[in-house]
Amino acid sequence: MTVLLLALLFQSSLLLPPRTAMENPAAVSEVLPKLAKDYTDLWKRFVAGKNDARTEKDLDSLLKKQKTFDPALTLQGYLHLYAHDDAGARQKFQAAFAINPKNRIAAYYLAEIAFEQRDYATAASFYSQLLTLDPSLSEIDTKRERALLLAADGVLRSGVRAEAENRLADAEQAYRQALTILPKEANLHQHLADLLTLENKTAEAEAERKIAGELTPRGADSSAASNPANAGSADTLDDLGRWGGDVKHLHEIRSAESITREQLAALLVRYFPQLMELRQTPQILTDVQNSWASSEIRTVVGLSLIDPLPNHTFEPSTIVTRGDLALTIGRLMRLLGVSPKTTQPIAAPDLASTSALYKEAQLVLGSGVMALQDSGSFNVSGVVSGREAVRSAETLNRIFQQLPH
């Protein structure tokens, strides 16, 4: 898939169910008796999909009679959604939510539209408000975490870029914004302290170091993030942006002698959160409900990056081989539009050109995302260490970031 097609997919409109499956706004907002009949007729007309322009005008008439009638505004939001007018829908849902902060329909679509437009911080805020209205919505909590991850990732990247360009004030603003998203990340507080020191803001720097120390587990070194000698074990700003409160799983992966399918799925989605925005083909999986990476697993399976088994299981704890990693990374590279640096075949005695893995292996080898082992073989059946998997993800991420977008 080309980068252009990838970008077009990111811009796709919200996927909407049939009108008959939409929830009646009357279920979450009061309909006054004097307006009940007119509203019911308009709802039926909307569901039937007949004469939306007239329905919009009649809803305006209802709103003239009762300006705070938020079911009418919510229904107008529906009309704009089905007309592929997300901006108009957002305006209607915002008006409805301002009138009735308990309107969970308006909150949901405000979150979805914001996410679609990559305003991840706003999306996370509305998802959080939606969870306050209905804590039982577990799938919304997953969406909230995704939005937080993407919001933090974007802010941290802008901060790192500003710091590299010596725009310290901009970097400080970005890091402070990131801390509103990830307030308990000790390394981020420590990094901000280092930046404040460069700006000669000594008192503020000491305050940030104190917070970092309070948040660092006993026995850990809160200065690890800023000490190059500890770079191998410390979390970078990018790590914090990708993993947030789940950074412990990155630690587990890095230190693993062999990684599992579950860990590989999480690694790919965390390094390439754009995958969550692509259109996926839902698959039935019977053994991932209790996995900490169930959302990531469904994403990679839905994009055909990792295949489920014929019996509809994923087997999250199955160990990943180098052949498995090459196949998955190769598919991901094609999805992202990444080409190898060299088309010259790289010889490996255990990898014949007739092998089903040959094309993917050449793709990852030619791009430097994976390398032959010291023996000169590819070792298709060898296990993949966590450090090796992370290195492959980081390498591919750097290559992808350098592509024209």
Over residues 56-72, mean pLDDT: 94
Pair 174, 149: CB distance under 8 Å: no
Neighbour-count burial of 150, counting CB atoms closer than 10 A to its CB (0-12 exposed, 13-18 middle, 19+ buried): buried
Radius of gyration of the chain from Cα atoms? 25
Amino acid at 280: Q
Rounded Cα–Cα distance for residues 298 and 265 (Å): 9
Pair 305, 328: CB distance under 8 Å: yes
Q: Which two tokens stand for residue 8?
A: 């077009």
Position 189 scores a pLDDT of: 86
Burial 256-290 (b: 16+ CB within 10 A, else e): beebbbbbbbbbbbbbbbbbbbbeeeeeebebbee
How would you write 33-95 as a 3-class SS string?
A: HHHHHHHHHHHHHHHHCCCHHHHHHHHHHHHHHCCCCHHHHHHHHHHHHHCCCHHHHHHHHHH
pLDDT tens digits, one per residue of 88-120: 999 999 999 999 999 999 999 999 999 888 888
Position 234 scores a pLDDT of: 55
pLDDT tens digits, one per residue of 351-363: 888 888 899 999 9
Dihedral-angle region of residue 30 (phi above 0 means left; psi in -120 to 50 means alpha; beta otherwise):
beta
Amino acid at 388: E
Give the SS3 label for residue 377.
Answer: coil
Residue 403 dihedral angles phi and psi, to the nearest 5° = -75, 150
Q: How confident is the model at residue 219 (pLDDT cuts 50, 70, 90)?
A: very low
CA distances from 313 to 251, 279, 303, 308, 309 (A): 26, 22, 16, 6, 5
Q: Which two tokens stand for residue 79?
A: 């009309």
Q: How confident is the model at residue 67 (pLDDT cuts 50, 70, 90)?
A: very high
Q: Which domains does the chain have, with CATH numbers?
A: 7-117 (1.25.40.10), 250-401 (no CATH)
* 70 has a pLDDT exceeding 70: yes
pLDDT tens digits, one per residue of 181-194: 878 777 788 888 88
Give the SS3 label for residue 217.
Answer: coil
Q: Which two tokens stand for residue 110?
A: 């405000």
End-to-end CA distance of the chain: 13
Rounded Cα–Cα distance for residues 174 and 160 (Å): 9
Q: What is the pTM of this model?
A: 0.55
pLDDT tens digits, one per residue of 159-217: 878 888 889 999 899 989 888 887 877 778 888 888 999 999 999 999 999 998 887 65
What value does the mean pLDDT of the chain take? 86
